[in-house]
Amino acid sequence: MTLAQAPHGFLSPTGVEIAFVLVGLVTFGAALVTVTTKQLVHAALWLVVALGGLAVEYLLLTAEFIAWVQVLIYVGSVVVLLLFGLMLTRAPIGRSPDADSGNRWAALTVAVAAAAALVWVVVDAFRATWIDLDGPAAGSTEVTGASLFQNWVLPFEALSVLLLAALVGAIVLSRKAKAESSSPPVNSRVTGKSSPSVPDARKNPAEQEGAC
């Protein structure tokens, strides 16, 4: 009887399962600090830890392709873009009062409700499903690519069109905002025209005649 066929239980965890729980706790703590800190740079750095923890979780689940996509796209691109945005906009390095909100309790309620619903759905759907971590990798690049382009090709192409539409919309909005900011206001254009000089009443009549 193989390991996948052996009875599993929460009271007899394996080393991989223990590592999965420990990395999950670290990831949860990093995500919690990310949304609660008032320092924007610290939030971005803790976001790196949270996304890296998710990549480690994917590796422990033998989903190597998803793990490296997580590292390359989210850690290597999104977080770097966020840090460059903070530097280019000269965001405050220390504590920022703008990072706080008075709706924290409403946000906490929505977050807890969403997390509870997500956990309940996942546990109910995969209650009796176990992954053979000693067998062939179920999330390798070959398996993921075959499943993606055989069974999920239509949603994949629809997502590509959606991302392309979002990119084109962002370019159009940015060009429109740039054109509006570069055009001078109406008052400045009216006042910029040449107007006939009006003699100053405070000047002497002789100076006014000389000016004319």
Give the model confidence (pLDDT) of 20-49 as tens digits: 999 999 999 999 998 888 787 888 889 999
- Eight-class DSSP state of 5: T
| C-alpha separations of 48 from 52, 92, 107, 117, 169 in Å | 6, 19, 22, 26, 28
Q: What is the pLDDT of residue 184?
A: 59
Partners of 39 in beta bridges = 95
Distance of alpha carbon 121 from alpha carbon 152, whole angstroms: 22
Q: What is the pLDDT of residue 26?
A: 95
Most distant pair of Cα atoms in the chain: their distance: 118
The token duo for 110 is 């929505």
Determine the distance from the C-alpha atom of residue 56 to the mean position of all C-alpha atoms in its chain, rounded to a whole number: 19
Q: Which of 53, 90, 94 is nearest to 74 (CA)?
A: 53
Q: What is the pLDDT of residue 1?
A: 39
Within 13 A of 85's CA, how many CA atoms are on the CB side? 8
Q: What is the pLDDT of residue 93?
A: 65
Distance of alpha carbon 162 from alpha carbon 96, whole angstroms: 35
Q: What is the pLDDT of residue 52?
A: 92
Q: What is the pLDDT of residue 117?
A: 94
| C-alpha separations of 63 from 57, 58, 102 in Å | 9, 5, 40
Q: What are the start-end ranges of the H helices in 126-185?
A: 141-151, 153-182
Q: What is the pLDDT of residue 206?
A: 53
The token duo for 37 is 């800190």
Distance of alpha carbon 86 from alpha carbon 44, whole angstroms: 9
Q: What is the pLDDT of residue 169?
A: 81
Give the residues of the chain that fall short of pLDDT 70: 1-11, 89-101, 131-139, 176-212
Q: Which of 59, 61, 60 is nearest to 69 (CA)?
A: 59
Task: Give the pTM.
Answer: 0.58
Distance of alpha carbon 152 from alpha carbon 133, whole angstroms: 25
List of E strands, the chain: none
